[in-house]
Amino acid sequence: MAQKKELLYEGKAKRVYLTSEEDKLIQEFKDAATAFDGAKKGSISKKGEINNTISAFLFEYLENYHIPTHYFETISANEMLIRKLDIIPIEVVLRNVAAGSLCARYQITEGTVMEYPILEYYLKNDELHDPMINEYHAYAFGFATPDETRAINRIASKINAILKSFFDRRNLVLVDFKLEFGKRGTEIFLADEISPDTCRIWDKKTHKKLDKDRFRHDMGGVDKAYLELRDRIVNA
């Protein structure tokens, strides 16, 4: 088993550690919560454990559908062993239902079901507030080649199709979500996390929000919503 070594990086939601094996990292999920590029700070009880559990479950689920992910195994309540990648500094967002910044930018009512999923790229840069980019920016800035964006788009669309029906069967709506990808040689892997921090998920009937929007907009019941979502994903 890979032994935990020094801290490589501390982000807003996770700590990443080197290990005794060059190609493996440990990703530790924190209870700390931030929103609006770190401007709003707080914490959500048990979030570290919940996001580790949900991410591990969904990475394993996606691997069954031949989606390459960085996940190796869960090593504690809030830590997973992952493949060390060169992260492509692009946030890939998939949207099925209008919410968040899309509503403001294009004047669309929250909850509008899109006729076709929307795939967007944003630059991973908090200081610049993650500006939206397109594939030509990715080529021009040297982040990814056309072959790589083709692979990313194909994998992201496939993940959306798989997860949409997964959540639908649990009476949940996958409104939108953010993915990060990384490279190892010529291969592309899904990285980072898939959790209520990075997805919008609503109850199908009541449209109750079960994700970080409750924290962003001080809606209350944040801790309970995260617990409920974990149980509805993992214990179904």
Question: Between residues 83 and 170, which has the closer beta carbon with respect to ligand ATP?
Answer: 83
Q: How far apart are CA 187 and CA 176, in angstroms?
A: 25
C-beta separation of 55 from 199 below 8 A = no
Shortest CB 18 distance to ligand ATP, Å: 10
Q: Which is nearer to ligand ATP, 11 or 117 (CB)?
A: 11
14-19 and 24-29 strand pairing:
antiparallel
Q: How many Å apart are CA 187 and CA 92, to the nearest integer?
A: 17
Contact footprint for ligand ATP (CB under 6 A): 9, 11-14, 16, 25, 70, 82-85, 87, 124, 126, 180, 182, 191-192
Q: Which is nearer to ligand ATP, 27 or 149 (by Cβ)? A: 27
How near is the Cβ of 86 to ligand ATP at its closest, in Å?
7
Do the beta carbons of residue 120 and residue 132 sit within 8 Å? yes
* Structure token digits, residue 7: 């801290």
By beta carbon distance, the residue nearest ligand ATP is: 11
Which candidate, 121, 116, 120, places its Cα nearest to that of 164?
A: 116
**Minimum gap (Å) between residue 175 Cβ and ligand ATP:** 20
| Residue number with CB closer to ligand ATP (98 or 192) | 192
